[in-house]
Structure 1
Amino acid sequence: MTMPVSRRAFVAATAGVAAIPFVGLASGEVKPRAAGRIVVPPGGKVGIGFIGCGKRAAEMVGPFLNRADVQLVAVCDVDTTRREHFKKLVNDKYKNSDCAAIVDYRELLARKDVDAVVITTPDHWHAPQIIDSANAKKDIYCEKPLTLTLAEGKACIDAVRKHDRVFQTGSQQRTEYDGKFRTACDYVRSGRAGKIISVHVGVQDPPKACDLAEETMEQGLDWDRWLGPAPMRPYNSILSPRGMHNHYPMWRLYWEYAGGLLADMGAHHFDIAQWGLDMDGAGPIEVHPPTDEKAVVGARFVYANGVEMYHGGPSGTSFIGSKGIIAVDRDRLHSVPEGILKDPLKEADVHLPKHADHITDWMECIQSRKRCICDVEVGARTAAVCQLANVAYRYRKALKWNPTTWEFIGNVEANAWRDYKRRDGYELPVA
């Protein structure tokens, strides 16, 4: 097929995209109430529990502590230093000693004063904690990527739907970054770039097996709980730096715990591809590995409407259409020709919803019981795109995927790759 826009134009358009965060009492006390729908009248507060107290949680806790409609009542982490640090942070803010510090997240979920949870643990823990939280009738905000495996994605959707929970996935490009990503998708879905032929998503490499050497571990970390469902292995500080730290730990590089940097940023940029293609409730039907067996870029997806999507290119998401290109990243929104974005959208064009920010959207939906902009299915299907790419890289096979049944078509071997064997005692919960 002849490309409507030259490769030179595509590179020029995207080269500058930068690479790569009840009844309430007037006093603020949170009164216990029955699990289920949360109803908070004016002046009341939603009781929040944090599961995970690492780097990402440290970035998120401030906005929650500053909200008048929230009371942070409990924090949970398997690292003593992080757990106690967060407890002090909360108590200092509220000028009391009420915040509970908990090791086992299931104890947090059993509390009647916890209405909703924020999950910021490593990716291999997301699905068990999501399902347990839904079973406990808590509303849920979970960081991206939503799940580690394809099977987990469907299980999380089923659990959240069964218990009618309000869910937000932490793919915040839909609500933040000055509306760049929303605007890009408005123009794409309004046909301003013409018929979309392909999408290029620039994120980094797939995961690899963890081969880190054993290190001596200081006391204060429950290493068995940190590993959870993952295979038993010796401690290494790259996976879980002790105490508070100012960097994102690199467990995200290894397939035992995460989907590599491909999924880490893919949960943002593939999410925008899905949004722009209006595929929040579906996904690709084929995935193909690159022809070079050693390549860690170049995986190709095919959608039912014929659109092809590629892992590779400049950072961000680039939509290639019959009339031009729309490329977006956190610091840039650009089109070729430039006139595409200079022509204002009409009233009849697509105008995706605007939100103040991701947390506010979740809090408002807790009250309205509407679905958030990054509902559980949105997050699970974006994670599935990343996981399909990782399956193609790891096993080097072209595969047909049924996004309705969440199964590979006609391939028993591939369907076994949708999940992994969990350690005894850490089985995936059932909704």
Structure 2
Amino acid sequence: MAAAGAAGVLLSPGAQVFGAESPNERPVFATIGLRNQGWGITSKSLGLADFVALADVDANVLGTNVERVKERQGKAPDAYKDYRKILDRDDIDAVMIATPDHWHTKIAVEAMLAGKDVYCEKPLTLTIDEGKLIEKMVKKTGRVFQVGTMQRTESSQRFLQAIALIRAGRIGKVKKITCGINGTSGSPEIPVASVPAELDWDFWLGPAPKVDYRALPEMRKGYGGGVPLYSNCHYSFREWHEYAGGKLTDWGAHHVDIACWALGEENNGPSKVSPVSYSLPVEYKDGYPLVHDRYNVATKFRIQVDMPNNVELIITSEGDNGILFEGTDGRFFVNRGKITGAPVEALKDNPLPEDAIEEVYGGKVSSNHTANMIEAMESRKQPISDVWSHNRMLEICHLSNIAMRLGRELNWDPAKREIVGDDQANTFLARENRKGFEINM
């Protein structure tokens, strides 16, 4: 299989072939982090793997999902609050990680060192240097590592078709790409509150700084329901730089990924990231929020990214959610629900070659992200969403956040993977884990 970035690269000869000791020849999985997307990726995978263990620091979430898995597969998985008990088991081939972002790197690295293949939800990292560490550990351990950017497999092939159109020259030379990733809203003042009895708040914080639990009594409805509408935990973690990167590393991790893939720049990066306009919901000084009882990620933004070959990449909170590709000979728009524009309409009379989609994908297209990972576990090659291409794309999203936090454009060296001539900005490429939650290597 030949996917973007490092895909198609054979792993170390000593790497364990999945299922070699599994009597039913199905891989044995465990999931760490079970709210929302954690259950989503687990439920999509139950027909493909045996889930023998689940872990979550919220006892209610853990119990609910143990029962869900039991109902689906006929046998209850073991339940743990501490994910390390999963990593200690030698009967587990792979782990799926769907914790808040600030936990991803620690668990992923420790899982690889424990001999597990890894599926980790996007965005893979909280900082740029975390991505470099994960790349190093994938090479060192020879593990298969799938990042959960499912637009590469599970959006009716619209994004693969978009990339095929670009590669076939249907809009000429690409000049501009606009990624609409929606904005967000700030929050009211969120007071310190009693920690729910079922939640281990200190363990939830983990590598992040120790702070009080905050929540308002109003409950969230719909997707993500069952938790406070405003808090510094659970569903709301994406609104805090301490745990995530807002829309830039949420939707941005999807659409910027497709943009870079279309450009063929999965192993390269920008030269400059400029915050054209943006709104932060609280006051900042030297890149850090001065107010700690409200959401702090950017609510509105327009970021200009100077990509190789004079391509302009715009990341914006305005307009439709999706990607607009503009070239010298035309333009088209694609998102999860549609792909529209004159180059798309022209396919009726001038279709793409029959193998165009598979050419982009690097083989037969999988409709399930976990299935693609299991194929990689069998072949010991990296899957469609590999860590190298993901990190290169995610660097753009991280740099966008750093630029807004500091209020200035950033020049980037994609070879050295560091910010040029700005020592203060370079301090944001890493963050030290809280004492007691260092990565065990």
Please classify the TM superposition score into its range, dividing by the shorter chain length. 0.7 to 0.9
Residue 81 of structure 2 corresponds to 103
Secondary structure of residue in 1 paired with 2:396: helix
Residue 352 of structure 1 corresponds to 360
- Is contact 1:334–1:341 with CA below 8 Å preserved after alignment? no
Residue 16 of structure 2 corresponds to 36
Residue 309 of structure 1 corresponds to 313
**Does residue 403 in structure 1 map to residue 414 in structure 2?**
yes
Secondary structure of residue in 1 paired with 2:118: strand
Residue 424 of structure 2 corresponds to 413
Residue 6 of structure 2 corresponds to none
For residue 257 of structure 2, what is the amino acid of its counterpart? D
- Is contact 2:277–2:301 with CA below 8 Å preserved after alignment? no
Identity between Structure 1 and Structure 2 (%): 34
For residue 72 of structure 1, what is the amino acid of its counterpart? F
Q: Whole-Å Cα distance in 1 between the matches of residues 413 and 261 of structure 2?
A: 19
Give the 5 Å matches for 1:52-201: 52-67=33-48, 70-97=49-76, 99-201=77-179
For residue 61 of structure 1, what is the amino acid of its counterpart? T
**Structure 1 residues 292 and 37 mapped into 2: Cα distance closer, same or farther (>3 Å)?**
closer
Secondary structure of residue in 2 paired with 1:118: strand
The unaligned stretches of length 5 or more in structure 1 are 1-33
- Is contact 2:146–2:384 with CA below 8 Å preserved after alignment? yes
Residue 271 of structure 2 corresponds to 285
Secondary structure of residue in 2 paired with 1:48: strand
- Is contact 2:269–2:392 with CA below 8 Å preserved after alignment? yes
Q: From 298, 302, 305, give the equivalent of 2:302.
A: 298
Residue 18 of structure 1 corresponds to none
- Is contact 1:262–1:386 with CA below 8 Å preserved after alignment? yes
**Structure 1 residues 138 and 209 mapped into 2: Cα distance closer, same or farther (>3 Å)?**
farther
Secondary structure of residue in 1 paired with 2:431: coil
Secondary structure of residue in 2 paired with 1:72: strand
Deviates most, 178-187 or 82-91: 82-91
Secondary structure of residue in 1 paired with 2:432: coil
- Is contact 2:237–2:244 with CA below 8 Å preserved after alignment? yes
Secondary structure of residue in 2 paired with 1:352: helix
Residue 266 of structure 1 corresponds to 252
- Is contact 2:276–2:302 with CA below 8 Å preserved after alignment? yes
Secondary structure of residue in 2 paired with 1:177: coil
**Structure 1 residues 107 and 288 mapped into 2: Cα distance closer, same or farther (>3 Å)?**
same
For residue 413 of structure 2, what is the amino acid of its counterpart? N
For residue 335 of structure 2, what is the amino acid of its counterpart? D
Q: Cα deviation per residue 1:307-364 (whole Å; 9 max; x = unaligned)?
A: 1101124311111100011210011101235544442123696731222221110111
**Structure 1 residues 42 and 179 mapped into 2: Cα distance closer, same or farther (>3 Å)?**
farther
Q: Whole-Å Cα distance in 1 between the matches of residues 169 and 355 of structure 2?
A: 12
Residue 369 of structure 1 corresponds to 380
- Is contact 2:59–2:199 with CA below 8 Å preserved after alignment? yes
Q: Whole-Å Cα distance in 1 between the matches of residues 134 and 309 of structure 2?
A: 27
**Does residue 275 in structure 1 map to residue 261 in structure 2?**
yes
Q: Whole-Å Cα distance in 2 between the matches of residues 369 and 267 of structure 1?
A: 25
**Does residue 326 in structure 1 map to residue 315 in structure 2?**
no
Deviation at 1:429, TM superposition (A): 4.4
Deviates most, 84-93 or 113-122: 84-93
Deviation at 1:377, TM superposition (A): 1.4
- Is contact 1:189–1:276 with CA below 8 Å preserved after alignment? yes
The unaligned stretches of length 5 or more in structure 2 are 1-13, 226-233, 281-298
Q: Whole-Å Cα distance in 1 between the matches of residues 257 and 176 of structure 2?
A: 15
Deviation at 1:274, TM superposition (A): 1.1
Residue 9 of structure 1 corresponds to none
Q: Whole-Å Cα distance in 2 between the matches of residues 374 and 336 of structure 1?
A: 29
Q: From 195, 198, 202, give the equivalent of 2:180.
A: 202
- Is contact 1:207–1:258 with CA below 8 Å preserved after alignment? no
Residue 388 of structure 1 corresponds to 399
- Is contact 2:97–2:104 with CA below 8 Å preserved after alignment? yes
Deviation at 1:144, TM superposition (A): 0.8
- Is contact 2:331–2:343 with CA below 8 Å preserved after alignment? yes
Q: Cα deviation per residue 1:57-93 (whole Å; 9 max; x = unaligned)?
A: 22222222223xx211110000111112222333333
Q: Cα deviation per residue 1:159-209 (whole Å; 9 max; x = unaligned)?
A: 112111111111111111211000001111221110001110001348989
What is the number of residues matched between the two proteins?
392
For residue 416 of structure 2, what is the amino acid of its counterpart? T
Q: Cα deviation per residue 1:360-403 (whole Å; 9 max; x = unaligned)?
A: 10111111111111011122222222111111111122112122
- Is contact 2:303–2:315 with CA below 8 Å preserved after alignment? yes
**Structure 1 residues 104 and 149 mapped into 2: Cα distance closer, same or farther (>3 Å)?**
same
Deviates most, 56-65 or 323-332: 56-65
- Is contact 2:153–2:367 with CA below 8 Å preserved after alignment? yes
Secondary structure of residue in 2 paired with 1:299: strand
